[in-house]
Structure 1
Amino acid sequence: MLSSLLAVSAAFLSLTGLAQGIPQAGVSSTGAACNNSPLLCDRNYNNITHMGAHDSAFLRNKETSFSTAGNQFYDVTAALSAGIRLLQAQVHNLSGALKLCHTSCSLLDGGSLESFLSDIKIWMDSNPNEVVTLLLVNSDNMPAATIGDSFTTSGISKYGFAPASTSGPMATWPTLQTLISANTRLVSFITNIEHDSTKPYLLPEFDYVFETAFGVSSVGGFNCTVDRPSSLGSGSTAVSKGYLGLLNHFLDIEQSFGITVPDVANIATTNSASTNTTGTAGTHGAQCQSEWGVRPTFILVDFFNVGPAIQTADQLNGISPVGRTSLSTAVLTAESSGAASTSGSGISWFGLAGFGMGVIALGNFVFL
């Protein structure tokens, strides 16, 4: 009876995929889903678009009195359950402790790196068929060994993927199923580090990844030009060398005192999967796929639930996902959430009160 049901389910999945124009090659032989789809199990890691939460630790919710500096409405556990598979954050050295801080720990403190990693590990423990990617901006140039200590103490290092070669980009990455079977389901890219043989799972970002520009301030400003590392030339050239392409797809807007914060007013358009509207994630992703000859490997967005942004990754991957938690696609505010906001002037929850008028000295402070 069970085998008959499985056969019927597999047939239905195949027919559904064909009806939607979804490629069936590489369907998991077990029928299990990898990163929310059986179609992704036998695809190489670098042949998948992984949707990411930009500044994933910095929240705009009740906990932060809806700080305008926050980039996400939901925390990393909710993000992972909703299908996000790339988590980006900034790491700072605060008197010897590694903290997740939004440009400055005095402005928005997301807690310790160890706590952040522990939350992700707990989720991964409960979701053994999922491959997660981390991108940590190493703001104070801490050595890999020091950052790796937080991976060790949190326990998440056991999931770390270490490539066989550390000489730079790889033409072929393992499939998701290979990573899952080996239980090396965490791919970690760190900026401003050198390879350390004692922490081989910490990968210097720009040895493997190239990025488009960040700090975009208009819906027409997104493009596929390589911003970092600038030495790589064009995106198609970088891809031919084995680099993984990352789209920084989030808008910023300048407020009082030259402070730049996420542009929430346009977020529904920015995160849309539409491919015929200027400034959408769908249009940006399709454009780069056309220019580079491959789908972008990573896309980073603000407020991932709006759109929802994950639909662009599903579109590029050609999948109908399963096993995700549904979240509201609304922009959350203090009023809609029934929370009192202390951000009054729109500067953010730290406000002028905490700094007197010293906030003026921040000049062109940018929250990235």
Structure 2
Amino acid sequence: MMASLKRIIAGALCLILLSIGPVRCDKADAETIKTDDPDITMLTGTRSDATESSTDVPTGIYHTPSSRETDATTSLPTGRGHLTESDTEATSSETVTYITGSHASSSTTTSDKKTSSTTSTSTAPPQPTNTRPCNNYPELCDRKYGNVTQVGCHNSPFVRSGSAAANQQFPVVDQLNDGVRFLQAQIQWPVNGTVPHFCHTSCDLLDAGPITDWLRQVKDWVASHPYDVVTILLGNGNYSTPDKYAPYIEESGITKYAFTPGLGLMTVDDWPTLGQLILSGQRVIMFLDYMANQTAYPWLLDEFAYMWETPFDPVDDAFPCIVQRPPGLPQPDAKRRLYLMNHNLNAEVSLLGQSLLVPAVSRLNVTNAAQGPGSLGMAANNCRTDWGRAPNVLNVDYYNYGNYPGSVFEVAARMNNVSWTRRPCCGPDSSAAARMEVARAVAWMGLAWAVWMTV
């Protein structure tokens, strides 16, 4: 009787563990932005209409490719093969893991002594099911880059507590650790400066430092995450020619991983798969919005030759899914390109004598939500309906906010048609929360095992 009771208790403990799942360590299911939040500057006042809008679309600086590049990806592996680590090279500054892939085959040779003939046969073994995640999901390894939806950080470097000009709460390494794979940043030149910086409109307003520092952090992260493809969109705030930026980009070391497609236009279907990019080592896609010169710098892609954007710095919470840049792009051409959905709601304020659009932080719980009017989820669904395919980039401010922390990643999973499992998010504390979940799960299983063993 006692043994049966113990078995019942042990079984009940296991059922409790399975039913409650890991205990979440988020602050709340729906993180609410409070006016006394020390990490967010709340802006109050009446909106004023500026005589010159900062969202005016530049004209006359767009390049139209004259031909399509039909062999842009011929240097990449034709198949994914086996995504396996082959060896690791350690240096004083970084650790680089190299990936190799190949389709193995087996051969059999038989001989007939009577006829002095030899017959050889060759067979390819069944291909294994890949369980290695590419950009966090095994299903994406065989997915073309043009058929993947990524969460993007609008103005990724602009992280500063208490600054109304900031766009993100956590720095770039945390952004990448949390699952962001698209990073956008705006380059400016400080007054009398000789080194390009990441600055928000003006370096007097928010200066995130030299571009090399931020790019080096991204490069280090890429080097230590060999199964991830990261995209960087550089905003050319001064419309400088790329030779002014290239030496500093190259100094960071990130061009070692840069994808080089060749000249000409690749359509959305011409891009390689994530697995091909990973196996080739070309795991960083780098765009420049204006003044790109791919003849001189083939790794710095002309954004608007490959991609179009919905209205940037939006103030309309309906988020119309229409082409704003490049202006005048015919719909048939737009359907053949990647597209970026700007979903970062703004409010207009006056700072340091400038009219500036800054994140509407009081609306972030709605703007970054997975569903509902004005939400990221609804806007992405609307875009998919309008264009027949999902956006390639969901470009957001403060990705950690939403109807729950990290809800933007649920939207991306839906667009990619992959299973979404909610996990602790976001920032440096999320990894500690994940470890606590594992520890609690192990403790429950240990308790159940202990009771079972006493039977």
Shorter-chain TM-score bucket reads 0.7 to 0.9
Residue deviations 1:1-44 (CA, integer Å, cap 9, x gap): xxxxxxxxxxxxxxxxxxxxxxxxx9983310000000100000
Return the alpha-carbon distance in structure 1 between the equivalents of residues 128 and 312 of structure 2: 36
Q: Which residue of 2 aligns with 1:299?
A: 394
Structure 1 counterpart SS, 2:418: coil
Structure 1 counterpart SS, 2:328: helix
Does residue 315 of structure 1 match 2:411? no
Q: Which residue of 1 aligns with 2:48?
A: none
* CA drift at 1:323: 12
Does residue 253 of structure 1 match 2:347? yes
Question: What TM-score does the superposition give when structure 2 sets the normalisation length?
Answer: 0.61
Q: Which runs of 4+ in 1 moved over 6 A?
A: 322-325
Return the alpha-carbon distance in structure 2 between the equivalents of residues 323 and 147 of structure 1: 39
Residue deviations 1:165-221 (CA, integer Å, cap 9, x gap): 43464541000000000000000110112323342110011111100002322423x
Return the alpha-carbon distance in structure 2 between the equivalents of residues 109 and 228 of structure 1: 26
Q: 1:138 touches 1:192 (CA, 8 Å); kept in 2?
A: yes
Return the alpha-carbon distance in structure 2 between the equivalents of residues 303 and 28 of structure 1: 39
- Structure 2 segments unaligned to the other structure (5+ residues): 1-80, 82-126, 430-455
Structure 2 counterpart SS, 1:97: coil
Does residue 47 of structure 1 match 2:147? yes
Q: Which residue of 1 aligns with 2:210?
A: 112
Pairing 1:7-22 to 2, within 5 Å after superposition: none
Residue deviations 1:44-69 (CA, integer Å, cap 9, x gap): 000000110001110142xxxx1011
Return the alpha-carbon distance in structure 1 between the equivalents of residues 423 and 240 of structure 2: 35
Q: Which one has the largest radius of gyration?
A: 2
> Quick one: structure 1 residues 167 and 259, their matched pair in 2 at CA, closer, same or farther if it must change by over 3 Å?
closer
> Quick one: structure 1 residues 218 and 167, their matched pair in 2 at CA, closer, same or farther if it must change by over 3 Å?
closer
Q: Which residue of 2 aligns with 1:144?
A: 242
Return the alpha-carbon distance in structure 2 between the equivalents of residues 104 and 320 of structure 1: 42
* CA drift at 1:126: 0.9
The aligned amino acid for 1:326 is C
Does residue 77 of structure 1 match 2:173? yes
Does residue 224 of structure 1 match 2:321? yes
Pairing 1:1-368 to 2, within 5 Å after superposition: 29-61=129-161, 66-94=162-190, 95-167=193-265, 169=267, 171-220=269-318, 222-234=319-331, 237-240=332-335, 242-256=336-350, 258-274=355-371, 277-307=372-402, 308=406, 309-320=408-419, 326-327=425-426
The aligned amino acid for 1:317 is N
> Quick one: structure 1 residues 293 and 104, their matched pair in 2 at CA, closer, same or farther if it must change by over 3 Å?
same
* CA drift at 1:319: 1.8
* CA drift at 1:326: 2.9
Q: 1:37 touches 1:322 (CA, 8 Å); kept in 2?
A: no
Question: What TM-score does the superposition give when structure 1 sets the normalisation length?
Answer: 0.75
Q: 2:187 touches 2:198 (CA, 8 Å); kept in 1?
A: yes
Structure 1 counterpart SS, 2:247: helix
- Structure 1 segments unaligned to the other structure (5+ residues): 1-25, 331-368
> Quick one: structure 1 residues 324 and 176, their matched pair in 2 at CA, closer, same or farther if it must change by over 3 Å?
farther
Q: Aligned pairs, how many?
A: 295
Q: Which residue of 2 aligns with 1:362?
A: none
Q: Which residue of 2 aligns with 1:17?
A: none
Q: Which residue of 1 aligns with 2:38?
A: none
Return the alpha-carbon distance in structure 2 between the equivalents of residues 310 and 169 of structure 1: 26
Structure 1 counterpart SS, 2:426: coil
Return the alpha-carbon distance in structure 2 between the equivalents of residues 261 and 216 of structure 1: 10
Return the alpha-carbon distance in structure 2 between the equivalents of residues 239 and 57 of structure 1: 29
Residue deviations 1:336-361 (CA, integer Å, cap 9, x gap): xxxxxxxxxxxxxxxxxxxxxxxxxx
The aligned amino acid for 1:291 is D
User: In percent, how many aligned pairs have the same letter?
Assistant: 36
Residue deviations 1:137-163 (CA, integer Å, cap 9, x gap): 111122223322122111110100011
* CA drift at 1:322: 7.9
After superposition, the CA RMSD in angstroms is 2.4
* CA drift at 1:255: 3.2
> Quick one: structure 1 residues 103 and 109, their matched pair in 2 at CA, closer, same or farther if it must change by over 3 Å?
same
The aligned amino acid for 1:206 is F
